Amino acid sequence: MKNQSKVFDSWQPARSAVEAMQKYGIKPEEKNYAVWLAYYTESNANLKLDLDNLISKDKHIDEHACYSLYERYIEREALSEKIINAGSSVANEIRDIMNDIETVEEKTRNFGIQLAAARVELDSAEQPSQIKSIVGTLSVATEDMEDNSKALEVRLVQSRNEIEALRMELEQVRTEAATDALTGVANRKTFEVFMQDQTEKAKKTRKPLSIILADIDHFKRVNDTWGHQTGDQVICFVAGVMQREMPRNALVARIGGEEFALIAPDMDARKAKALAEKIRNTVANKKLIRRSSKEDLGQIAVSLGVAEYNSSEKQSDLVARADKALYHSKNHGRNQTTLFDDVKSLAA
């Protein structure tokens, strides 16, 4: 009975995680489950602290919140561990190479000593047998030196290949750290870094900078009707449209469950609104078919908000203004674009 009780105790965090997702209406996908399991197992103190704070303030905990927590505390820690492991492998490989080089250097010094000694012996040798013995010794030492040099050459080639493989692994980790795994566009962290860089650049150059926020309309209904796998396909579709339409120097990022951002350097608000409208129309006019059953998913629509950077404001203020414009679109019929400056009530 005690063993059975221990089994039930080990299941409790998993059961609590599922119950929490049901309570808050969060789809039971891997990342959401990972967040709640980490919370109930208390395996990540900072994640638990943030989630406790949301719960205590009776705030709405949705998939956007789970996505942010996963990215901040679980995904980054996993990537950090990969970087540490790859870095440790590189360090170990370099250490082994240095040891091999030191070994060959020691053998080279010994070979030099043998050569010097042979020279002295040859100068004093009188009998052919003595000369033959010295030459034989030198021949063996020379062969050993050649073998050592060849072995080091092979080892260096192996090390070069291994370090190149590790370099590619680190490059992949770097890409993973900057990319949203589902859609392939930038993730929230990359969005924040890029936004910081571009606002500083816009302030110095006095060139325009605009941001577009987009949110898939009635996305929960899509998930509830067609399932989460189809919902993921819709997210990827919208991400793909935004990436295809963005200017060359722009960035598209997934910053929440079904929310995206497009940062457009050198673009003023009017042009950004026109771009947003192009994205909205492309999404709305596309007929989507469910892959598994070939059923028509009906119209997929997005609401968008646009704002242009003001050099006197903080980065967060720009995002907040675009967010207000986005929710004006959602609260006034959806499937539309709102430019912050066009709605006087938003500035209040």
Exposed, middle or buried by CB within 10 Å (0-12, 13-18, 19+), for 124? Answer: exposed
End residue of a domain, out of 122, 147, 178: 178
* 296 within a domain of the structure (yes/no): yes
DSSP assignment of 234-285: HHHHHHHHHHHHS-TT-EEEE-SSSEEEEEEET--HHHHHHHHHHHHHHHHH
Do 227 and 139 belong to one domain? no
Do 267 and 132 belong to one domain? no
The pLDDT tens digits of the residues spanning 300-320 come to: 999 999 999 999 999 999 999
Number of structural domains found in the chain: 3
Predicted pLDDT at 64: 79
pLDDT higher than 80, residue 294: no
> What is the C-alpha to C-alpha distance for residues 210 and 17, in angstroms, rounded to an integer?
40
Q: Which residues have a Cβ under 8 Å from the Cβ of 121 and sit 6 or more positions away?
A: 130, 134
Contact of 309 with 210, CB cutoff 8 Å: yes
* 194 within a domain of the structure (yes/no): yes
> What is the C-alpha to C-alpha distance for residues 213 and 284, in angstroms, rounded to an integer?
16
Predicted pLDDT at 5: 43
- Residue 67 or 312, more confident: 312
Residue 189's pLDDT band (boundaries 50, 70, 90)?
Answer: confident
| Residue 321 tokens, joined | 């203004």
Q: What is the mean pLDDT of residues 94-122?
A: 73
Percent of the chain with pLDDT over 70: 81
Catalytic, out of 258, 295, 308, 313: 258
Predicted pLDDT at 19: 85
Do 135 and 210 belong to one domain? no
Minimal CA–CA distance to 322: which of 203, 191, 233, 206?
191
Predicted pLDDT at 272: 97
* 25 within a domain of the structure (yes/no): yes
End residue of a domain, out of 178, 204, 238: 178
Average pLDDT of the residues of the chain: 82
> What is the C-alpha to C-alpha distance for residues 93 and 163, in angstroms, rounded to an integer?
8
Predicted pLDDT at 156: 72
pLDDT higher than 60, residue 1: no
Residue 80's pLDDT band (boundaries 50, 70, 90)?
Answer: low
Do 169 and 195 belong to one domain? no
The pLDDT tens digits of the residues spanning 141-185 come to: 777 777 777 777 777 777 777 767 766 766 766 666 778 888 999
Tell me, what CATH number does 157's domain have? 1.20.120
* 72 within a domain of the structure (yes/no): no
Residue 91's pLDDT band (boundaries 50, 70, 90)?
Answer: low
Cα–Cα distances (Å) from 124 to 112, 117, 119, 132, 340, in that order, read 19, 11, 9, 13, 99
Predicted pLDDT at 33: 82
Residue 283's pLDDT band (boundaries 50, 70, 90)?
Answer: very high
pLDDT higher than 50, residue 329: yes
Do 296 and 205 belong to one domain? yes
Place of tokens 């950004």: 272
Do 137 and 239 belong to one domain? no
**21 — phi, psi (to 5°)?**
-65, -40
Q: Which domain, by its residues, includes 332?
A: 188-347
* 214 within a domain of the structure (yes/no): yes
Do 196 and 324 belong to one domain? yes
* 197 within a domain of the structure (yes/no): yes
Tell me, what CATH number does 237's domain have? 3.30.70.270
Predicted pLDDT at 174: 67
Q: What is the mean pLDDT of residues 45-51?
A: 85
Of 27-36, 190-199, 204-213, highest mean pLDDT = 204-213
Do 123 and 257 belong to one domain? no
Residue 83's pLDDT band (boundaries 50, 70, 90)?
Answer: low
Do 141 and 217 belong to one domain? no
End residue of a domain, out of 61, 92, 111: 61
Is 77 among the catalytic positions? no
